[in-house]
Structure 1
Amino acid sequence: MKHDPHASPDRITRRKLSDQVFDRLRDMMASGELPPGAAVPSERDLMERFGVGRPAVREALQHMHTMGLITISHGERSRVNELSANSVLARVDDVARMLLSSEPEQLEHLKQARRMFECGLVRVAAEKAIAQDVRDLRELVGEQRARIGDAEAFVTADMAFHTRIAQISANPILMASSQAMLRWLFEYHGGLLHWSGNEKVTLQEHDEIVDLIAARDADSAVRAMQAHLDRSNPLYHHPAV
């Protein structure tokens, strides 16, 4: 559509009825009128309340379902979902994987973002960790050590270690973002560590990171994490490479 330079800035643009129904329902959720777990009013009730036809209501509800705001179950009333940082980021998993598959250069951008992110997380961990956090991290390194020879289990344990560092922040957005990045990278990690011969080096680096967190040496913990990721990042590569 060509822009009309003479058009009034106050001109009202007509919007689809379904978009307006969507906005009304979203406002009802935000205000608490429709809290998490609540049943969404029936299509007939919504038609009467908003003065619109069934197609507009159904399109709005389907849009909400696609966005993860509600769950539509056959034969049952739709219900409002409880939103969290994890659930929101999980909705983009498939799109993120498609992006990484179709544009391999995006993987380098993801690794760069993760490096910056993890270094920030380990600094917070070194500043906030309590004795139980350190014990959990040491236990996770021990579990990872026991997984040498099983590539998938070793990588899963690796993810658990980094996830536990993120949990020390007690920030749900940081935790969810960390887990999302790890999920997306896992797509390209596969069994590479099994034959790469880097398992023992990885474990030594994890031990060092835990020691520095325990010592509350934030600057050294950041440097150790940087070195760890700089060494391990080349192991994450596009399958076509």
Structure 2
Amino acid sequence: MSAPAEPIVRRKLSAEVFARLRAMITAGDLKPGDAMPSERELMERFGVGRPAIREAMQALSQIGLLAISHGERARVLAMTPRSLFGQVDAAAEIMLQTSPAALDHLKEARIFFERGLVVQAAARASEADVAALEALLLAQRAALGQAETFIAADMRFHQRIAAIPGNPIFEAVAESMLGWLKQYHTEMLIWTGKENLTLVEHEEIVAAIRARDPGGAEAAMVRHLERSRALYVHAG
């Protein structure tokens, strides 16, 4: 019985250039902040035309490895959890708009994520962390009746909790989820008195974190998010 055929497929020139440039970045030959070689230098180095170089550079830009500015050399970017999750923002927006169940799935995922997050926050919070959360509560109270400012303060509160464990992936995931949800946040909390309820729930969460009570913090966060999930709805 003959072995199955394993044809060698020739890659596009731009794909080869992409692979070589990416290898230069991941190997540290080009570091974050460094300017990329000019198009002409790369054309001569790799023996390819300008279209292959530009296509490869655009591909590197799309995955967050390069910043391309008109009239300037492209520069290498540091890959971070935030830049990584930021690459899916546009796709997440389309998914939420086109899939009826996606918003409910996102709200459920947020509760699953933030209940674990606040457990760690309560176990690890420093006095400075608690003080920062209390300052955010004051800012949110000062924004009562101002929908945009109040909701922005609400988001900062949850982002600050995500920062307490010291894991940048937690921060990036929390920021992305909040950003994806933001456009579905209705202002009905302003007109139904729910903004005061939100503040009370936030105060309960902070009290549990201050007391270094992970179980209490988790219960308070779940109560808050289960109640507030109704505020995120599709328009129309």
User: Normalised by the shorter chain, which TM-score bucket?
Assistant: over 0.9
Is the 2:30–2:36 Cα contact (8 Å) retained in structure 1? yes
Q: Following TM superposition, by how much is the alpha carbon of 1:7 offset from its aligned partner in structure 2, in angstroms?
A: 7.6
Does 1:41 pair with 2:16? no
Unaligned stretches of 5+ in structure 1? Answer: 1-5
Is the 1:126–1:221 Cα contact (8 Å) retained in structure 2? yes
Q: Following TM superposition, by how much is the alpha carbon of 1:239 offset from its aligned partner in structure 2, in angstroms?
A: 1.1
Match of residue 227, structure 2, among 192, 212, 231: 231
Is the 1:126–1:218 Cα contact (8 Å) retained in structure 2? yes
Does 1:125 pair with 2:121? yes
Is the 2:186–2:233 Cα contact (8 Å) retained in structure 1? no
Q: Following TM superposition, by how much is the alpha carbon of 1:190 offset from its aligned partner in structure 2, in angstroms?
A: 4.0
Q: How many residues align?
A: 235
Q: Following TM superposition, by how much is the alpha carbon of 1:149 offset from its aligned partner in structure 2, in angstroms?
A: 0.4
Q: How does 1:49-198 map to 2 (within 5 A)?
A: 49-198=45-194
CA distance, structure 1, for counterparts of residue 142 and residue 29 of structure 2: 51
CA distance, structure 2, for counterparts of residue 160 and residue 7 of structure 1: 60
Does 1:200 pair with 2:196? yes
CA distance, structure 1, for counterparts of residue 101 and residue 193 of structure 2: 26
Tell me what 1:23 maps to.
19
Q: Following TM superposition, by how much is the alpha carbon of 1:29 offset from its aligned partner in structure 2, in angstroms?
A: 0.5
> Per-residue displacement from partner, 1:187-236 (whole Å, max 9, x unpaired)?
11142321132111111111111111111111121111111111000111
Aligned in 2, Cα 1:92/1:9: closer, same or farther, shift over 3 Å? same
Q: TM-score, normalised by structure 1?
A: 0.92
SS at match of 1:234: helix
Unaligned stretches of 5+ in structure 2? Answer: none
Tell me what 1:3 maps to.
none
Q: Which moved more, 1:77-86 or 1:105-114?
A: 77-86
CA distance, structure 2, for counterparts of residue 41 and residue 233 of structure 1: 50
> Per-residue displacement from partner, 1:69-120 (whole Å, max 9, x unpaired)?
2122222111112221112222322221121112131001100110011001
Measured on the aligned residues, the alpha-carbon RMSD in Å equals: 1.5
Identity of matched residues, %: 52
SS at match of 2:181: helix
Is the 2:133–2:206 Cα contact (8 Å) retained in structure 1? yes
CA distance, structure 1, for counterparts of residue 6 and residue 209 of structure 2: 57
CA distance, structure 2, for counterparts of residue 230 and residue 9 of structure 1: 56
SS at match of 1:239: coil
CA distance, structure 2, for counterparts of residue 51 and residue 124 of structure 1: 53
